[in-house]
Amino acid sequence: MNNNNTEIIPSMMITDEEIDFRQYLSSEELSVIEHEVSIMETREAAGIEALKVVQKHRGWISDNSLIAIAQCLQISSAQLEGVATFYNLIYRQKVGHYVIHLCDSISCHLTGYDEILKVIQTYLGIGYGQTTPDGEFTLLSNVCLGSCDKSPAMMINGQHYHSLTNESVVSILNGLSQNAGENV
Ligand code: FES
Is 170 in contact with 118 (CB distance < 8 Å)? Answer: no
What average pLDDT score do residues 3-30 get? 69
The three-state (H, E, C) secondary structure of 1-34, written as one string: CCCCCEECCCCCCCCCCCCCHHHHCCHHHHHHHH
| pLDDT tens sequence across 54-101 | 999 999 999 999 999 999 999 999 999 999 999 889 999 999 999 999
**Does residue 112 line the site of ligand 1, with CB under 6 A?**
no
pLDDT band at 183 (very low <50, low <70, confident <90, very high): low
Instruction: Kindly list the structural domains of the chain, giving each domain's residue range(s) and its CATH number in brackets, ordered by start.
Output: 21-86 (1.10.10), 98-182 (3.40.30.10)
| pLDDT tens sequence across 122-168 | 999 999 999 999 999 999 999 999 999 999 999 999 999 999 999 99
Q: Which of 100, 101, 104, 108 to mutate to test the pocket of ligand 1 (most atoms within 8 A of CB)?
A: 108
- Cα–Cα distance, 47 to 42 (Å, whole number): 10
Distance 105 CA to ligand 1 centre (A): 5
| pLDDT tens sequence across 104-123 | 999 999 999 999 999 999 99
Q: Is the pLDDT of residue 31 over 70?
A: yes
* Residue-level pLDDT at 3: 41
Angle at which helices 47-58 and 77-86 pack, to 10 degrees?
A: 80
* Residue-level pLDDT at 161: 98
**Does residue 105 line the site of ligand 1, with CB under 6 A?**
yes
